[in-house]
Chain A
Amino acid sequence: MTAGLKWKVDRGSEAIVVAFAGSIDEDARLDTLTGELSGAPRLRFDMGGITRINSCGVREWVNFMRAIPPGTRATLENCPSVVVAQVNMISNFSGPARVASVRVPYVCKDCGFDAELPMDTPPGARPVLPAMQCPRCKKSEFIFDDLADSYFAFLT
Chain B
Amino acid sequence: MSNGNILLVWGDNRDRRALYKALATTGAGVSFANDPSQLRAGLEQCRLVVMDYDAVRDTAREVLQHLSLQPSPPPVLVVTSSNHKADLIELFGHAALTNLVAKNADFNLNELIITAQKVIRNDIFGLDKYLSWGVQAYQYNITSSAGRFGPMKDLESYLHAIGANRRLAALAHSVADELLMNAIYNAPADPQGNPKYASRSRTEQVELLPDETVSFSFACDGQYLGLCVADRFGRLETDTVRNYLRKCFLQGENQIDTKDGGAGLGLYYIFQSLNHFIINVARGKRTELIGLMDISGSFKDFAQRTKSLHLFIAGGRQQ
Contact residues of A with B, CB < 8 Å? 1-2, 26-27, 51-56, 58-59, 62, 81-82, 89-92, 105, 107, 109, 112, 114, 143-147, 150
Contacts and interface: CB of A to CB of B under 8 A. Distances in A.
Contact of B202 (A56, A82, A107): A56
A55 B170 contact: no
20 contacts: A2-B149, A26-B203, A27-B203, A52-B170, A54-B178, A55-B178, A55-B264, A56-B202, A56-B262, A58-B256, A58-B263, A59-B256, A81-B167, A89-B248, A89-B268, A89-B269, A89-B272, A90-B265, A92-B253, A105-B167
Contacts of B167: 81, 105, 114, 145
Top 7 closest pairs, chain A to chain B, by CB: A55-B265, A26-B202, A91-B251, A59-B263, A56-B202, A55-B263, A145-B299
Contacts of B203: 26-27
Contact of B163 (A27, A51, A90, A112): A112
A91 B174 contact: no
A58 B165 contact: no
B201 A146 contact: no
Contacts of A89: 248, 251, 268-269, 272
Contacts of A147: 300, 303-304
A26 B149 contact: no
Contacts of A2: 149
A1 B266 CA distance: 19
B177 A54 contact: yes
Interface of B: 146, 149, 163, 165-167, 170, 173-174, 177-178, 181, 201-203, 248, 251-253, 255-257, 262-266, 268-269, 272, 298-300, 303-304
Contacts of A81: 167
Contact of B166 (A26, A56, A91, A114): A114
B255 A90 contact: yes
B307 to A, nearest CB: 12
A85 B298 CA distance: 17
Given A55-B262, A92-B256, A114-B167, 8 more contacts: A26-B202, A54-B269, A55-B265, A82-B170, A89-B251, A89-B269, A112-B163, A112-B165
A1 B152 CA distance: 10
A25 to B, nearest CB: 8
Contacts of A52: 170, 173-174
Given A55-B262, A107-B165, A114-B166, A90 B174 contact: no
B282 to A, nearest CB: 26
A90 B251 contact: yes
B266 A107 contact: no
A146 B300 contact: yes
A142 to B, nearest CB: 12
Contacts of A143: 300
A53 B263 CA distance: 13
A54 to B, nearest CB: 6
